[in-house]
Structures are given as structure tokens and as C-alpha cells.
Structure 1
Amino acid sequence: MSSTDKVFAGSIPKIYDDYLVPMIFAVYADDIARRVAALSPSALLEIAAGTGAVTRAVAAALPRGIRYVATDLNEPMLAIAAQRQANDDRITWRQADGMALPFADAEFDVVCCQFGAMFFPDRVRAYGEVKRVLKPGGTFVFNVWDRIEDNALTHEASMALGTMFPDDPPRFMIRTPHGYYDRDVIRSDLERAGFLDIAIETRSEISHAPSADYVAIAVCQGTPLRNEIEARDASKLQAATDIVAEAIRTRHGSGPVEGKIQAVVIEAR
């Protein structure tokens, strides 16, 4: 993982929330919310909450009286999440590192995490922290993106950027968001952290965007992929966005865009 892969700063958090959340994250947030609600937690921890897509979905699915702590490593992302979820006294927002959770042992019934495990430098250590803060019999619910070839629009965007930077293509999407999908590796990491009852499933959905330009802005400017593009040539961010938009437009047309997305969903106890 590059040192820039975890940097969600500047205008990235707002573009992420405005563009990527409705395009690819919201449908999986609803899935996580259904799973969490079925477990009826009284104390819930969310790690890698980002701009709060899961937080909003879970909060809407749970009753009053619960305790909900939402954390993320990036304070700019949490600031947007807190602003979007104002006036919900069930939720406490806290900056926290998933590999060193600032909570007591056996404090939560459920821990959830949406598309965050790929960013943990040491996943076994992070999963060990999750197990530590879970009560006996507690459940860890999380998801990760499947391989990039099963996520059409992101794959097409990455291929298009490769034509712009043929000698050094930006590989953030392949390396990190879509770099941790091997089911055997995920199961092994969880078992090494002490989880015994592990269920893993594949979930395919369809992403929707109003236009090719929307997709290009989401991918190129609303993720740390932007950091990679600007590291190569800061003046070419818009040109890179335009190249991706044209590639998406060529394949999907000038109107609304649809593309397959696929994730791996895990429940561990």
C-alpha cells in the first residue's frame, strides 16, 4: 500500500460523499444495515466509517436507546459524516485507528466496517482489535470489494488512465480497494485473529450514475487515485478525468450509466 492510499483530504471527502456514495456505496450500506439490525445490538461500533454511508443506513434501521460509536482514521471524512447525521444523540463520533481501538475489552455487541479492511496495513492485528472489543458471542460484519475485473466502471476507468500514463499507470484502485478479495486469505486472517465462525458470501449489484462525466469525477477526484494522478503531473487532473469520461461514454453511451459492482461480505463471530 502506498503512503497516499489512506489520504482522504482536501476536496476528496466531499466529492466522495456527493458522487461515490450514491454510485457504489449506498446499496452495500443498506445491506450492512440489514445485517446489523438483524443482530439487535445495544452497543455498536463502526470502524472506517468514512463520510457515514453505513452510519446513516444503520441509524435508520435501529431503535432508540442504542449506543453507536462511529470512527474513522480521517477526521475530514468524519466531519462530513457528523454534519450529515446531525442531532442523533445515539451516535458518538471519534477519530480512531482500526489497529489500535481506544475502547475497553468486550465493550460492543457488534462491530461493522464497510470497505475499510483493505486499508489496514496489518489486517490480522486489526481483526484482533475487533475481537478484543467484541463481547463474547459478538459479531463482526464487514465487506470488501471483489477483484477489479468484477467492478466494471472502476476497471474501465483504470484501463483508460493506463493509456494516459503508459509507463507508470496509477494503480491505487487495483492495489488497495480491489486488492483484498481472496476468500481463503480473508478467512485465514480472521482465524489467525481468533474468529471461529466465519461466513463469506459474494454480493453483486448494479451501480448507477447520471452520466459518464459523473463516473469520471467520482473515480478520479473523489478517491486517493487523485493523489496518484497529481503526483505524476498535477496539471493533468482534469485531462485524466476527461479521458476516463470519454472511455466510459464510448462504452456506455452519452446518457445514464450502469455497471456491475461486486463485493465480498463477511460475518465473523
Structure 2
Amino acid sequence: MADPDTAFVGSIPENYDRYLGPLLFHDYADAMAARLDVRPGVRVLETACGTGIVTERLVARLAGHGTLVASDLNEPMLAYAGAKLRGARRLEWQVADATKLPFDDRSFDTVVCQFGLMFFPDKAAGVREAFRVLEPGGRFLVSVWDRLEDNPVPRITHETIATFFPSDPPQFYTIPFSLHDPAVVSRLLEGAGFVDVRWERLHKTGTSPSAADAATGLIEGNPVYVAIMQRRAAALADIEATVARNVAAAFGDHPLRCPLRAIFFSAQRPR
């Protein structure tokens, strides 16, 4: 049986992209792509690319001036991304474990990882691999979510789901928000050999056409859906309706707008 905390399978990739894209990820993807240093011949690797939300913006940012390899360990997510961006120029897809990258040393000028590091079972290995495949002077661009308490729609969702599982609530939502201490991430980067480690908090506003759409994504667009279906499938509609009511009460409806907070890092492999 798939691990319910990491199983982005079935209908999850489509729901993730359709509903969670505008709610959680689009503005941060724009911010990440804007940080990419573009020059002729630049070689970029994206790890944990998911459904290609950042990938699409990196391709646009490169505008044919460099090459991009977009990688993810999760084949269903990668397949969805590939179908969505079919025909994109100078873009290669690669199934790859970010902690054991199948690339030669010094293969890339920039490595990008948006909201993926929290899911790596061995975070130090993932950071070391980014260092290994970078050219001297290359940069690693990483983003992580700030605390769950600072991202109230995911927090409300997590707390609402827990009311339906009082003895053993699903814990998926603790994972994406688990790496919120800048000092911890900075130590990971410096421990791998990176220098010039910089970070900043970015506040954005997520949007959804409706609270119901947001609830669909927040439940059916990530692995918490697998946990619910394995343990209490009959309650799915009730859980989603309750999440929709609770987030609408806090942040409105038609559309829903919610505050988000993430942390962006930049680190350099020494020249």
C-alpha cells in the first residue's frame, strides 16, 4: 500500500494543478522564476517539479536562451506535467530521486527546488546532490513553507480534518510546513558546502474562485486524500463541505483570498 503521506497518484496530480495551483503556488512560482539568472547557454535543473507549475514559468523565463531539465521522483506528477507542457522548447523531463540524482558532477549552472525539500526523506542528501551537480559558482534556489500557523487555510484544513478522526488524525499537513526554521535550512546548505546563503520571507495572497474549489484542492489535491479514502471514504463529501464552510468563514467566498507565507533561499557553490 502506498504511503498516504507521499502518494501523489490517481486524480491527485490533476486536482493539485487545477485547484492548488492558484490557491497556493502560482505567485510563488512567479517569484522563483524571477530569481533565475538567464544568460546564453545556461543549464538549469529543477528537482521535485511536480505538475510543472514552476517549470512552465522557468521555460518562459529562459525564452530559449538555455536548457531546463525538470525532474521528479513521482511519475504520475511528472506525466501530468509533461502532457501539460508538451511542445515546450529546450525542456527535458527526467524521473529522478533528488537525493540520488542521475547526473554528472558539475552539470548545471542553477538548481531550483520549489516546496520539495520538506518531502525529501534525507534532506541533507538532497542538498549535497544539488551541490554536486552544480558548476562552481552555480546557485541553488530553494523555497519552503513558513509555519502552518502562518498559512491559515492549510491550518484550518488540517484542524477540520482532525475533527473527523479524533483518535488518529491524518498528519499530511504537518509535512509541507515542517521546515520553517531558516536556521535549520541554512545549516543544511552550509553543511553541504554552500556559501553566500541568503533567505527572505515572502508574503503572498492565494486565490480560488470559491471556497468549494479550494476545499476540493486542499482535500483531493494532495496525499491527505489517500489517507481519508483508506480510512473513512464515506465521510469525504462531509469533510470537504466542512472545510469549505470553515475557510469561507475566515476568508470569504466567490472568490476566496487567503494570506500565505513562505521562505526563499539562495546559496552558491564556491567558485
Q: Same fold (TM over 0.5)?
A: yes
- Whichever residue aligns with residue 33 of structure 1, its letter is A
Q: What is the match of residue 179 of structure 1? A: 178
- Whichever residue aligns with residue 87 of structure 1, its letter is G
Q: In structure 2, what is the Cα distance between the partners aligned to 1:91 and 1:38?
A: 15
Q: What is the match of residue 225 of structure 1? A: 224
- Whichever residue aligns with residue 248 of structure 1, its letter is V
Structure 2: tracts of 5 or more residues without a match:
none
Give the percent of matched residue pairs that are identical in Structure 1 and Structure 2: 40
- Name the SS of the counterpart of 1:233 in structure 2: helix
Q: What is the match of residue 49 of structure 1? A: 49
- 8 Å CA contact 2:64–2:89 kept in 1: the answer is no
Q: In structure 2, what is the Cα distance between the partners aligned to 1:61 and 1:7?
A: 30
Q: What is the match of residue 249 of structure 2? A: 250
CA drift of 1:65 comes to 4.1
Q: In structure 2, what is the Cα distance between the partners aligned to 1:166 and 1:37?
A: 48
CA drift of 1:84 comes to 1.4
Pair 1:97 & 2:97 matched: yes
Counting matched residue pairs gives: 267
Q: In structure 1, what is the Cα distance between the partners aligned to 2:243 and 2:102?
A: 41
Alignment of 1:169-208 (within 5 A): 169-174=169-174, 176-208=175-207
What does the per-residue CA deviation read over 1:48-86, in whole Å, with 9 as the maximum and x for residues that have no partner? 000000110111111324121000011111111111111
Provide closer, same or farther for how the CA distance between residues 196 and 94 of structure 1 changes in structure 2, counting only shifts above 3 A. same
Structure 1: tracts of 5 or more residues without a match:
none
- Whichever residue aligns with residue 238 of structure 1, its letter is A
CA drift of 1:132 comes to 0.3
Q: In structure 2, what is the Cα distance between the partners aligned to 1:254 and 1:184?
A: 37
Q: What is the match of residue 29 of structure 1? A: 29
Provide closer, same or farther for how the CA distance between residues 162 and 260 of structure 1 changes in structure 2, counting only shifts above 3 A. same
- Whichever residue aligns with residue 159 of structure 1, its letter is E
Q: In structure 2, what is the Cα distance between the partners aligned to 1:44 and 1:64?
A: 12
Q: In structure 1, what is the Cα distance between the partners aligned to 2:41 and 2:221?
A: 32
- Whichever residue aligns with residue 135 of structure 1, its letter is E
- 8 Å CA contact 2:48–2:71 kept in 1: the answer is yes
What does the per-residue CA deviation read over 1:179-199, in whole Å, with 9 as the maximum and x for residues that have no partner? 111111111111111112200
- Name the SS of the counterpart of 1:201 in structure 2: strand
Pair 1:63 & 2:63 matched: yes
